[in-house]
Structure 1
Amino acid sequence: MTQGIIQTDVYTDFQGINALRNRVRTDGDSEETLRAVAEQFEALFLQMMLKSMRDASLGDSMLDNDNTKTYQSMFDKQISIEMSKGEGIGLADMLVQQLRRNKGVDASEKAGISVSPQRDFTELTNTRPNLLQVKKPSETSSLDRQVPDWKPESPKEFVRKLWPHAKRAADELGAKPEMLIAQAALETGWGQRMVRGADGRNSFNLFGIKADNNWQGARATTETIEFRDGLMRKERAQFRAYTSPEESFSDYVDFLKSNPRYNDALRQADDAPAFTRALSEAGYATDPDYAGKINRIMDGSHLREALGGVEISETGPRS
């Protein structure tokens, strides 16, 4: 970093920041000032990036508390300043060159490198150490193939979109598709409260299936309501993430069939009240009224009216 002006070597050094602001006002065209401002901008950029990385983590550690989070934030802010010193990540160099061009100064002469007006940030950072290069996730572990986001505007749209998938899944389970639609409506608020990942992407998790250690696919972490010892509590949990509603229905079928504890429920799949009650008794959900809520949705006017707009399948009327 330039030694000609006061440095901001510690993120709490407000004197250095104020001195830099005053230097810009009085000598904003000098090389030293341009470099110092660019490095401060790069440090702020790194702070934002580190914060985003923290926010996108899988969740808080069991040992985390307000104190550790405070010191973690302090560390991130300080390390961002250290990373911006010297060669940094190339962002400061790019800014200095851009500012020089704006002031009519030949950037290549000043920097001693060949820089065309079209040279972009990607090319510039390729000459720097790959400090922040992140390995691209494999196609099978990401949501890159995810269908466009979906947020139905009404129960009727919710049912129309999901009915074909519910019908196929119900056929595999020997259940009624209306029951699967009702369960998905309960879990997602008719599609209005879909679980989303840290990046805002829709998980398409229609049945509230959580991601345990055996789940190898994508995950989405969010707050959820659970009942513990008869009391309703807000908890943070990881849920399975899918690329489409169809994939969610397919995994729901596999999930029930692959878990022996749901064998009793599957034997009663053709009886919706018995099926939902057996699911609840097997521990599918912590809500003591889980089965009752599904059955009330099945018998309610919202579903009945929505089903009225669903086209009859080739195999005949809905069962």
Structure 2
Amino acid sequence: MNSHLSKAGIYNDFSGLAELKAGARKQSPEARKEVARQFEAMFIQIMLKSMRDAGSVGEGGDSDEIRFYQQMFDQQIALDLANNKGMGLAKIFEQQLGAGPEEVATDGLSLLNRKPVSVQQAVIDGAERADAAERAAPQIKWSPESPEAFIQDLWPAAQKVADKLGITPEVLIAQAALETGWGKKMPDGSQGSSMNLFGIKADASWRGEKVSVQTLEYREHVAVREQASFRAYDSTENSMEDYVAFLKNNPRYETALKHVNDPQRFLRELQDAGYATDPHYAEKIQGIMSSDRFASVVSQLKAG
């Protein structure tokens, strides 16, 4: 193969271009490949020139000599880039050069018949696709219709997880009822409910999903609204499992875990360790557990 055809120095090597034209007329695969590469080099050079022109606006100190050498430098960079992987344009050019007249005509007509899309329409289309993708994503929904339904839904998982903590299922469910308003006030995110039953916040150690919402905190016995990030789960059982791990992995709750056989003492120690800022946290949970409504549903579930 001729040296001009295999590796031209820069695209304005005129003798090389002449041989490229001759080879292209013969439909030589090697020539098509080289012509495509040279076209990509020219395209890259035009891009470089546009970038230089944009960057030199308002600047002084340019001269014809400097611009001449910059142009030569850009030409060489363009060819070097095209000689390697380039921008992928060479392959497209090569395919077009190798296509028959009917294929080229068909492709050309399809491009001519394509309706132009405005920038505004492109933005709208992109937003609609994003909305559609979000709607297509599985939504996690769980909103018990009543306190009775809340207890019944959580009972199977609470029984299983409570054994790992050594506590009764009633304590877990009553605490979850207080934290979530019987399942009506769980933090929600774009994918639906966070399934966060125990109000566990997403600190720096958390690597899972999270949601950010307004929350009510008590500062010096005064209730204030704050923005906070909470952990998100794909099921209520996973939320309970994480609650157990959260208590066991935090030394501050060590004393509380020593009293799991005494629900009142456990809840009081949990509050004293700073689990919640509400000064009546333990008292409220005990109030739920001792209510006739709660006790009646639990009694029925235990009876099977």
Please tell me the TM-score bracket, short chain as reference.
0.5 to 0.7
Confirm whether residue 211 of structure 1 aligns to residue 291 of structure 2.
no
Confirm whether residue 186 of structure 1 aligns to residue 178 of structure 2.
yes
> In structure 2, what is the equivalent of residue 229 of structure 1?
220
Confirm whether residue 296 of structure 1 aligns to residue 290 of structure 2.
no
CA distance in 2, matches of 1:178, 1:203: 22
- Which of 40, 49, 56 aligns to 2:120? It is 40
Residues 226-249 of structure 1: per-residue CA shift (max 9 Å, x gap): 011221111111111111011011
Is the Cα contact below 8 Å between 1:156 and 1:307 reproduced in 2? no
AA in 1 matched with 2:227: R
SS of equivalent residue, structure 2 residue 300 = coil
CA distance in 2, matches of 1:240, 1:203: 7
- Which of 160, 167, 186 aligns to 1:168? It is 160
AA in 1 matched with 2:161: A
Unaligned runs of 5+ residues in structure 2 are: 1-113, 132-136
Is the Cα contact below 8 Å between 1:198 and 1:221 reproduced in 2? no
- Which of 257, 282, 289 aligns to 2:248? It is 257
Residues 78-98 of structure 1: per-residue CA shift (max 9 Å, x gap): xxxxxxxxxxxxxxxxxxxxx
> In structure 2, what is the equivalent of residue 245 of structure 1?
236
Alignment of 1:10-159 (within 5 A): 38-44=118-124, 148-159=140-151
Q: Which has the higher helix share?
A: 2
| Alpha-carbon distance, 1:193 to partner | 1.1
SS of equivalent residue, structure 1 residue 309 = helix
> In structure 1, what is the equivalent of residue 70 of structure 2?
none
> In structure 1, what is the equivalent of residue 268 of structure 2?
277
The alignment covers a number of residue pairs equal to: 186
| Alpha-carbon distance, 1:308 to partner | 3.6
| Alpha-carbon distance, 1:291 to partner | 0.6
CA distance in 1, matches of 2:287, 2:248: 25
Is the Cα contact below 8 Å between 1:195 and 1:205 reproduced in 2? yes
| Alpha-carbon distance, 1:171 to partner | 1.4
AA in 2 matched with 1:245: T
What root-mean-square deviation, in Å, do the aligned CA atoms of Structure 1 and Structure 2 show?
Answer: 2.5
AA in 2 matched with 1:265: A
CA distance in 2, matches of 1:283, 1:293: 16
| Alpha-carbon distance, 1:311 to partner | 4.6
Confirm whether residue 307 of structure 1 aligns to residue 281 of structure 2.
no
AA in 1 matched with 2:297: A
CA distance in 2, matches of 1:43, 1:202: 29
- Which of 173, 178, 189 aligns to 1:197? It is 189
AA in 2 matched with 1:161: D
| Alpha-carbon distance, 1:35 to partner | 7.3
| Alpha-carbon distance, 1:44 to partner | 4.8
SS of equivalent residue, structure 1 residue 310 = helix
| Alpha-carbon distance, 1:276 to partner | 0.5
Residues 169-225 of structure 1: per-residue CA shift (max 9 Å, x gap): 2212121211111000001111111211134x1111101101100011111111110
Q: Name the CA shift for 1:38/1:196 in 2 (closer, same or farther; >3 Å).
A: same
| Alpha-carbon distance, 1:309 to partner | 3.4
CA distance in 2, matches of 1:244, 1:44: 35
Residues 100-128 of structure 1: per-residue CA shift (max 9 Å, x gap): xxxxxxxxxxxxxxxxxxxxxxxxxxxxx
Is the Cα contact below 8 Å between 1:156 and 1:305 reproduced in 2? no
| Alpha-carbon distance, 1:275 to partner | 0.6
Unaligned runs of 5+ residues in structure 1 are: 1-33, 53-142, 314-319
CA distance in 2, matches of 1:281, 1:220: 27
AA in 2 matched with 1:157: A
Is the Cα contact below 8 Å between 1:256 and 1:262 reproduced in 2? yes
Is the Cα contact below 8 Å between 1:160 and 1:309 reproduced in 2? no
